[in-house]
Chain A
Amino acid sequence: MSTEATAQPRESWIHYLGGFFLTGVESIGDVALFSLQTILGLLARMPKQSNVLMQMYRVGVTSLPVVLITGGFIGMVLAVQSYNQFKMMHLENRLGAMIIMSLVTELGPVLAATMLAGRVGSAMAAELGTMRVTEQIDALRALGADPIQYLVVPRFLACFFTIPLLTALADLLGMFGGWLISTQVLDVNSFYYWHYAEQFVTAYDVATGLVKSVFFGTAIAMISCHRGFHCGAGAEGVGKAATEAFVYSFVLILVMDFFLGVFLTSLYYVIWPGTVGLI
């Protein structure tokens, strides 16, 4: 009787809701502490240059083809998908402005970050997870190295500096891809493609996208390293950590994109008053 009485609340929906909420708060707090430790590790001692350069090579150079292909095709798809609507309004010459604006403020940073979360984030989580289950992280500590300083800080720096650069390159390829389809296939005048883009897209729009990509890069590094460091046992644990690294990074990229979008748009109106902002 007493067993049933104690078991019942555990099965209620409110118990699961409470458990879900607590786990969520605990996870967020854990990632925040992990990020703080990383910043403190960075301030305490700069990592070895060779280690950071190696991570930059792995994050940046090896991701270049996939990011360039992504950027290029986004520009081309945007041109194809928007052309008919613009033509109906006789605005096809302004296609370049729309393509480049969409690319530099939204699609470039978000899709490049998504690709990198899949390619780089999962790999980081799997690598660190494997190091954890094979006791290599314990071995680092046993040999006098701080695992966060040695493993996380270089990855964080690599993502922080490299992902905005990759995003910029994805944007450039997207602009070129959009131009190629617009001018060579859809018969848009090349001069107007660039002319209207220059008129409508400001330096602030480009900066908005790059600022977003800095945040996305930081999020990818922190979440992926955190999942790797807290990976469960065995091959299943490593696989789960890699999947979680991508899923959590992707969700966070979308959430951050919204809030950064609102914030940066409002900031624009604060810096250049004259129009009412979003908040």
Chain B
Amino acid sequence: MKVELSRRKFLQGSVALSVLGGSLASVPTLWAKEKPSSNNTIVATLCEMCVNKCAAFAYVEDGIVKKLNPNPLFPKSKNMLCARGDAGIHALYDPDRLKYPLIRIGKKGSGEFKRATWDEAYEAILHGTDKFQGLKQILDEEENNRSTIGFCAGEGMGEHTYKQFMGDLLGSKNFINHSSICLQTTIAGYTLTLGSYGKADLENANYVIMAGANRAEAILTPDTMDMFKRTRGRGLKLIVLDPRYTNTAIHADKWLGIKVGTDLAFVLALTYVVIKEVLYNKDFVEKNVDHFETYKKHILTNNYTPEWAEKITGVDAHEITKIARDFMANAPRAVYYQGRRTAWSKQDFQLRRAQAIFTALGGGIDVKGGIVFGKKLYLHSHSVEVPTYTTNKRRIDRNEASIVGKNGTWIGFRNMIVEDRTPYPVRAFFSYKQNPMQSVPNVAKTKTMLEKMDLVVTIDTMPSDTVMMSDVILPECTYFEREDPVKSFGGTQPAIVLRNKVLDPMYETKAVFDILKGLSEKISRPLFDIAAKYDEYIQEEIEDSGADAIYEDDGYNFNNAYEQTQEEINEEIITSTYGEEAYETLKEKGVFYPNMDKYFKKISENEYQYYPEDKKYYTTPGGEKIDVQDTCIDEKAIAALKKNLGTRSGRVECYLSSMIKKKVDPMPVWRDELYSEAPKGMFKFITGRDAKHTQNSTTNNIMLLDIMKENYLWINKAQADEKGISHGDWVSVKSSIGEVKIKAYPTIKIIPDVVFYVHGFGSESTGLTFGHRNGASDNLIIEDTVETVFGSAAMHETVVDVRKV
């Protein structure tokens, strides 16, 4: 009978949808402020299916989110939602969502939990249960060294709130986020060389080299929309370097199947040609490039010729020469695209530096069609009273690489714990919206790390593999069910956006802000008492003013940070700078920028104007920095480093003398000893993205599985034929650390000696109805190799054996 019930319900729904009518209105209707009927609302929200934060309108009917449509007002997302954005509804209505707090009752990792109230969950975090220890015991035993609590966070608008709680209020120094398994080396390379990562102006660039970047399948707004309307002879000449013939490559004027991990040699050879033939922008170089002569000499004396590079990269020397010439012929509207992904090789940092310098040689910096820095609309930050502890030790992984910022090195941090190399015990681990069990290379080690913890707490929406390893699970609501901190997006067309709450949290879930607020109420005082027991500074303060006063006034009562609601904080931040009207606009339309009502125009059904051409911020002489959308690197740390080098002038840095004492090459140099080819018969394993899924976060999204069911192993067709592997055959892929079984996709779209599959599949969590053991996880076989500058995971250094099974 359930069948019937469900059917009938469905029919009701579809009838209702067509009756709803008016609410599924066009944007012009919205502008006319037509009030939708009582049961139907349209809420301006921001997508959280990946990091882009595209603006969307949620159509809510009788309390059900029926449809998400792109919000055309946001200059960054430009009136689009990708497949994942459209499928956001299925993140909200995922049947496997974490619905209420859970406390572990079985063996760790067994997946045996009991349902708990929020109070019981907080209580368990504080006092532990018979299965695990609580914070009170741990901190007491560690004499209030708050850094004994490690914590990690995935990218998101709540990351700051969480980090503030764990780092500033609770006091732990051991924070790790996605930087070191993401684009840390790229951001750092560009920031140290150009002063900022910047943004490639693909709306106006005439010549773009994309190496490894895959904007068709790793969608980035607005780059993806900007460039693919201009490829194929429509203004943007595109050169793609990738071992795979990606969907980006199919749009390219030239695809070069470069060997894995050799990009640096390619860039150095381009630089060689440009310098040798004096093709660079002499005026720009003279004015804006520091140590150019040193660099010039370095390139020439090392003889980074195209012929030299051909041997390493497999790219034809003539092709290299031609690209170098064409690039400079199109400069300054020519960009060696920065790229936005994890470090590939051990030489990744130098690769990014070389790319940045190469682009600079053409003058394509801070100029229309080049790498631009744009403008960011000011929003003041919301500050809270931060307590002081003297007992907290420094982060454990600070010596795991030459430069370790506040975001740490995931592999370094984890391996120290696994290998018992920590200067003090790290006994508790908090994870928010991150899934290191799938995202950090060498899953076995991550598992060991979590097993060694006396307390693991996770805050998430889905029962990921990491969540299954926890002691206490705190269910967060999805992005539809909360208002997040207002955010400003810089760029040539800056805007401020607000993620409005579409509906109240379902089940017993809460926004991370409210989760931390609840936790604060439970743990602030008991932890303060422990701090008072061991921290001499606090003891002195108490002697002076009394315990209660110190607790209340000096930030030890975390509750003070949550007196205002998120909504109130947002209202205050927005109105204080832009006034009431801006706030109302953000509540209603989700997007605001000065003069929006004047500038924003519908040109055609498919095109909008956000800023008039003369109002766009292509060149920002003040060197205003663009804020990259996810703060992969501690910008302050980088800025400090830059200051030491004395490059506040904004000159392009060819030579970083400060690197020498950190045992890092001051200039990009190719090091043979850091590169090796795959032994004969073996394959280099590479990983990457697909436009239909976001990392490991959507592999239980049924709508996305509908368009891409599982991942397949790309293997060169000829080599597959040799091995007798045909389409859909099961193959075993084995590295030194693990083995997976996956279906094969023999294709001409990948060069020989390389195999690939998309990241994110192969979840082991039994809590995922659709994602459980579907496809293969890449980090089961990717070795935990790090590049030594930042301790970032070098993900393309693993060699694998492929066999038919």
User: Are A and B interaction partners?
Assistant: no
